[in-house]
Structure 1
Amino acid sequence: MELRHLRYFVAVAEEKSFNKAAKRLYISQPPLSRQIKQLEDEIGVTLIDREHRPLKLTEAGDFFYEHAIQILAKSDKLRAMTVRKGSFDSSISIGFVPSILYGLLPKIISCFREVYPNIEIKLQELNSWQQTQALTDGKIDVGFGRLLFEDASIRRILLREESLVVAIPKNHYLAQEGLATINLMDLANENLLLYPTGPRPSFIDYVLELFESRNLKANYFAEVRELHIALGLVAAGEGLTIVPKTLEHLRSQEVNYIPFEDGLLTSPIIMSVRHFDKSDLLKTLLEVTYQFYDKEGFDYKREYI
């Protein structure tokens, strides 16, 4: 059995016609029919009910189709990732979520450039889910995100847990009370500005889960397109938002940032790479990140590529 057999079968299954499948595959119908018959003979079961019009898959055919499309998808991903790996020596493409770019990522990339001054670095704004897709499609080499998604072809490295803080307008009563810390319960009835609206799942879902995991509910919240809009609306007195601590420098003249009690509320910073990709570029990028964390005094657990 070869991949072309799977592609031929999938085309027939989806088109429900040998003639239409042949046109889709840019081959003539007789060779296509022979290839499908050879596939059935090799497996030892009938996959297509040829008496039915339009063509219909047998029960075994339905089972085979579901697995065939998964195998073909994995094959396409493997091809794309391998092609990307072949051009990895001269450039590196990095996906990032905005909250990390506004934080420490630029400084880490600057340190990385000192080690590899001749490597072209390409940056792409992608949310955590999009990074997973871009890695498997061979469009990026590494991603920095904040949400975990399970994918057998992707390895997740938890760099550290970053404390979250509440961004509050300076004229808000919570800001004027001079609180040293705040509790998530205090925000249940406040107007929260959560971001980004899409694609989902996003940081919105992570924040709402923080409430739910503590048997709380965010009773009033609005979804806004991105982080800077949320902070702009906070500065205008339209509500509050929750951001990672490294973003406290943004709009600091207009917004107060109050940490959560005991620093228990955090957001993970996750580095995503393709499984078994052990290139020197990725190893150096991870090592530079840890060196920077050491310099800043961050707590983290070291992992290796």
Structure 2
Amino acid sequence: MDLRQLRYFIAVVRERNFTRAAEQLNIAQPPLSRQIQLLEDEVGVPLLIRNSRPVQVTDAGRLFYEQAIQVLGRTEQMKVAARHVGIHQRRVLSIGFVASTLYGGLPILMRKLRQHAPDLDIQIVELMSTRQIQALKEGRIDIGFGRLHQSDPDIVSIVLEEEPLAIAAPVSSDIARESTPLPIEALAGQNMIVYPKEPRPGFADHVLNMFYGHGIQLGEVLEVGEIQAALGLVAAEFGMCVIPLSACQMRHDVHCRPIDGIRATSPVILSHRVNDRSEYIDLIKRLGQEIYTSDRSRPDAS
């Protein structure tokens, strides 16, 4: 088994077609089919179902596909790390994040990370929570800060905080007359703007499931791409929007109130690969737990 065979197999799975995979790899189809057959012979079980259109993946093939992505991702990381060490460059750490975490403790964590590791080159990538998992497994990021629980056996996830949720309402609405916590039942029948429209499942599903879990029927539900668009539509009186409490600072032309209800929170989740033993992963975990369990409103939190 060699890395070329893994790349070939991944291409076939992604394209679901030998011809398209061969074109993508810039090789003829017969050699591609031969290499996949050799790979299956070595593994000892079928990985693909060839007599279907499109090509289907067996259960063993799905497992092998996930592992192959990780192997290639780690191989690329090895090359980059060796290159940096060989030419005496700084270490690189890639961090994925969802935009809403920037309104909470993540900027503080980044500042403290730079203080503790001044020689570390930090690269940040904005990624939805579900896409962070794949990016971790492919080696494109080293750590992720998201808001959705996942159960991938190759990923370690730590909940740093269960952040309260708030309702953002038009300033002209009755709800905007007070700032006290709002019982979630008071939102029954309200038009709701949720984000992101994709990928799914996402934060939008988390919000809708919270309402459904309380037996609350909403009015019209409008899906948009991101939080800025959602809050803009709230300001324009198209409806209301549930956001993390820390994001209430984003606009001054909407009114926010904390939501009082069971599961009216959104987790901030730190994720990394199971076998990643980097000293920087341990440092970020320690800093994250310190920051998210402290009162960030205090001057010494920064």
TM-score, normalization by structure 1: 0.76
Q: For residue 132 of structure 1, what is the amino acid of its counterpart?
A: I
Which amino acid in the other structure matches residue 149 of structure 1?
Q
Q: Which runs of 5+ in 1 are unaligned?
A: 49-54, 299-305
Which of 19, 28, 38 aligns to 1:23? It is 28
The whole-number CA distance in structure 2 between the counterparts of 1:288 and 1:77 is 27
Cα pair 1:104 1:246 within 8 Å, conserved: no
Q: Does 1:232 align with 2:232?
A: yes
Seen in structure 2, the aligned counterparts of structure 1 residues 186 and 294 have a Cα distance that, compared at 3 Å, is closer
Any conservation in 2 of the 1:131–1:143 contact (CA below 8 Å)?
yes
* Alignment CA distance shift 1:143-1:263 (3 Å): same
SS in 1 for 2:249: coil
CA separation in 2, counterparts of 1:230 and 1:108?
A: 27
Q: CA RMSD in A?
A: 3.9
8 Å Cα contact 2:231-2:241 kept in structure 1: yes
Report the AA paired with residue 140 of structure 1. I
Query: Aligned with 1:296: secondary structure?
Result: coil
**Greater Cα offset, 201-210 or 95-104:** 95-104
Q: Which runs of 5+ in 2 are unaligned?
A: 82-89, 298-302
Q: Which moved more, 1:287-296 or 1:100-109?
A: 287-296
Q: Classify 1:86/1:154 alpha carbon distance in 2 versus 1 (closer, same or farther; 3 Å).
A: farther
SS of equivalent residue, structure 1 residue 151? coil
1:201 and 2:198 are equivalent in the alignment = no
Distance 2:115 2:293 in 1: 18
Question: Contact 1:3–1:72 (CA<8 Å) still a contact in 2?
Answer: no
Q: Given residue 293 of structure 1, which amino acid in structure 2 is its aligned partner?
A: Y
CA contact (8 A) 1:194 1:223 kept: yes
Distance 2:176 2:159 in 1: 33
Percent identity between the two aligned chains? 32
Instruction: Report what 2:93 is aligned to.
Output: 92
Q: Are residues 240 and 47 of structure 1, via their aligned partners in 2, closer, same or farther at CA, if it must alter by over 3 Å?
A: closer
- 1:103-182 paired onto structure 2 within 5 Å: 103-176=104-177, 178=178, 180-182=180-182
Query: Displacement of 1:150 after TM fit?
Result: 2.1
- The 5 Å alignment of 1:74-93 reads 74-84=67-77, 87=80, 90-93=91-94
Q: For 1:66-115, what per-residue CA distance to the aligned partner results, in whole angstroms no more than 9, with x for missing partners? A: 42453244123223134326646711111111111232211210111111
Aligned positions, number: 277
Letter in 2 for 1:24: Q
Structure 2 Cα separation of the partners of residues 225 and 182 of structure 1: 26
Q: 1:170 to 1:87 in 2, by over 3 A?
A: same
Q: State the match for 1:259 in structure 2.
A: 258
Task: Report the secondary structure of 1:267's partner residue.
Answer: strand
Whether the aligned pair in 2 keeps the contact of 1:5 and 1:39 (CA below 8 Å) is no
Question: Structure 1 CA distance, aligned partners of 2:72 and 2:172?
Answer: 56
In structure 2, what residue type is equivalent to 1:249? Q
Pair 264,71 (structure 1): closer, same or farther in 2 beyond 3 Å: closer
- Cα distance change of structure 1 residues 9 and 221 upon mapping to structure 2, 3 Å threshold: closer
Q: C-alpha distance in 2, partners of 1:264/1:71?
A: 37
Residues 155, 220 of structure 1: CA spacing in aligned structure 2 closer, same or farther, 3 A cutoff? Answer: same
| Local SS of the residue matching 1:131 | helix
Report deviation, 1:216: 2.0
Give the secondary-structure state (helix, strand or coil) at the position aligned to 1:124: strand
Per-residue CA distance 1:269-300 (angstroms, 9 max, x = gap): 111100121211011111112222344179xx
Native 8 Å contact 1:108 1:288 kept in 2: yes
Alignment of 1:184-195 (within 5 A): 184-195=184-195
Query: Following the alignment from structure 2 to structure 1, what is the Cα–Cα distance between the partners of residues 195 and 172?
Result: 22
Helix, strand or coil at the partner of 2:268? strand
Shift of 1:153: 1.1
| Distance in 1, Cα, partners of 2:47 & 2:192 | 55
Q: What secondary structure does 1:285 align onto?
A: helix
Contact 2:105 2:291 in 1 (8 A): no
Give the partner amino acid of 1:154: I
